Amino acid sequence: MFDKISDFDKRVTEYWTNRHFSPKVERGLRFFVRLGDGYIWALFILFLIYMVGWDCFLPILWQALVSLAMSLVIYWVVKLNVKRPRPFAANPTIQAEVPPLDKYSFPSGHTMNNLAVASTVFFCVPQYGWIMMLLPLTWGLLRVYFGVHWFSDIVCGFFFGILSFALGHALWIPLSAAIGA
């Protein structure tokens, strides 16, 4: 079973990394994928403060930080135990077209960490958070396209991101009661 999954993963990743857009579109996609490094959150924070006010924003921020903390714990435990090489390191036909943030591939931290935060925002203010739910998956798939992740890294990063939110939310409920948030 794992051989079939691995074969599918390699085929999908090779297919995506060997398809290219025009240089102008590529530059735009590189800029967009770099927003997944966390830059977009600064703008979104300002937007949320403007839309919901500081007092409503603070509980969202604290809950998002709890979800992010859960995500980072899961991320580092899994990443340092699995130690999966990145596609460009394992396959000479694949080149990294954006800089990876660390040595190993599994799971996708961009997908996982951004989705944990986006899920929290969506849970708290769905009228504004829905757009943030689309971005982590898009960024993750583009990281496959740019040769720094396998397709399964994104799929598992998605599930780990949702798990991180669920654990963070479960932890937030007693924390918020204890601090009166």
Query: Is 14 contained in some domain?
Result: no
The residue range of the domain holding 63 is 21-179
Predicted pLDDT of residue 181:
61
Residue 92 lies in a domain: yes
**Within a domain: 3:** no
User: Is there a domain that residue 100 lies in?
Assistant: yes
pLDDT > 70: percent of the chain: 98
Residue 13 lies in a domain: no
Span 130-165, pLDDT tens digits: 888 888 888 888 989 888 899 999 999 999 999 999
The answer to whether 72 touches 113, Cβ cutoff 8 Å, is yes
What is the model's pTM?
Answer: 0.86
**Which is higher by pLDDT, 63 or 41?**
63
Q: Is residue 12 part of a domain?
A: no
Residue (of 66, 59, 47) closest to 131 by Cα position: 47
pLDDT of residue 11: 85
Taking the C-alpha atoms of residue 85 and residue 91, their distance in angstroms, rounded to an integer, is: 10
Which helix or strand (DSSP H or E) is residue 60 part of? Answer: helix 54-82
49 in a structural domain: yes
* Count of the separate structural domains present in the chain: 1
State the pLDDT at residue 45: 87
Torsions phi, psi for 104 (to 5 deg): -105, 160
Asked whether residue 69 carries a pLDDT value surpassing 80, the answer given is yes
| Residue 11 covered by a domain | no
- Residue 38 vs residue 45, higher pLDDT: 45
> What is the Cα–Cα distance from 174 to 181, expressed in whole angstroms?
10
